[in-house]
Amino acid sequence: MRDAFIKETLAILDDDPRTALVLAEISADPFGKALANYPDRAINVGIREQLMLGVAGGLALTGLRPIAHSYATFLVDRAYEQIKLDLRHQGVGAILVSVGASYDGAQAGYTHMSPMDVALIDTLPEWIVHVPGHADEVGPMLRAAVGHDEPVYVRLSTQHNPEAHADALRLKVIKPGGKRTVVAVGAMLGATLEATKDLDVTVAYTHTPRPFDHSGLGEIAGAEPDIVMVEPYLEGTSAHLVAETFADKAFRLRNIGVQRADLHRFGTPKDHARWHGLDAESLRQRISAP
């Protein structure tokens, strides 16, 4: 996904003089060509994430469409107040693109993890959030995002699904089935399909959890909503939105995602998936529980 992002962004910078790129050292090497070709709108500010967001806001104030990029924990967690005040509060937007989703950086430890990024973005008004599940979904969402001026967060991951569903901007039913509706977001689809292969449930997918597809979920879930949310970030991040979808009726909701826990452990993303109950076997038990 990171390669797809770099390739598409290099092409976007070539194609559209209104676009800009702001880096804080991360990925400066692969973007070297753009930094050299467009010194005023492809900028590496050094290891300065607050400034990266401030510069993005300033570029947007002059009418450019900035893309800012770093690890999720440095881009979102560290620079949260700049995201809050230097973009939408000024009446401008930017495209923030992160790598290092949740426990992608398992060996690096908790300092390099951000399972809470989407929850933090969720505290702010009017953000579009893309969580691609496959590299082939990345290019089209970037192209769409440079076509307007809204604030957009793109969360890239080293985890991915076997197949791309570039059209899953809203909830897309991947596996029709029984009354229980399992919603898989981003790279959780692969493990979710494996976990449910002999279960009579409906599986729907999206790579764009914000804006939340209330009407799509309402249609898929039917008269007696029985929902399982499977999200690759902090567990329960979308719970308030599911509750909003079904504000006027009884519903059942099980939230599955990354636990609110600092494990102080390393290993691989696969290990962390197991520890957080997100491997196919754990998912199967949690999805099929009565």
At its nearest, how many Å lie between other proteins and the CB of residue 239? 30
**Residue whose structure tokens are 């990354």:** 258
Strand partners, 21: 42, 67
Tokens of 230: 């499977």
At its nearest, how many Å lie between other proteins and the CB of residue 271? 36
Q: Which is nearer to other proteins, 45 or 171 (CB)?
A: 45
At its nearest, how many Å lie between other proteins and the CB of residue 12? 15
Give the side-chain half-sphere CA count within 13 A for 141.
Answer: 34
Spatial distance between the Cα atoms of 76 and 68, rounded to a whole number of angstroms: 11
Q: Taking the CB of residue 249, how many other CB atoms lie within 10 A of it?
A: 11
Q: Which is nearer to other proteins, 53 or 182 (CB)?
A: 53
Q: Taking the CB of residue 136, how many other CB atoms lie within 10 A of it?
A: 15
Binding site for other proteins (CB under 8 A): 20, 22, 38, 40-41, 43, 45-46, 48, 50-51, 53-64, 66, 81-82, 85-86, 89-91
In sequence order, what are the residues at sequence separation of 6 or more whose Cβ sits closer than 8 angstroms to the Cβ of residue 53? Answer: 68, 79, 82, 83, 86, 87, 94
Q: Which is nearer to other proteins, 40 or 198 (CB)?
A: 40
At its nearest, how many Å lie between other proteins and the CB of residue 127? 17
CB 187 within 8 A of CB 233: no
CA 108 from centre of chain: 20
Q: Which is nearer to other proteins, 43 or 283 (CB)?
A: 43
Q: Which is nearer to other proteins, 54 or 225 (CB)?
A: 54
At its nearest, how many Å lie between other proteins and the CB of residue 89? 6
At its nearest, how many Å lie between other proteins and the CB of residue 66? 8
Q: Which is nearer to other proteins, 64 or 145 (CB)?
A: 64
Peptide bond into 176 cis (omega under 30): no
Spatial distance between the Cα atoms of 164 and 201, rounded to a whole number of angstroms: 21
Tokens of 285: 């038990």
Q: Which is nearer to other proteins, 53 or 118 (CB)?
A: 53
At its nearest, how many Å lie between other proteins and the CB of residue 85? 6
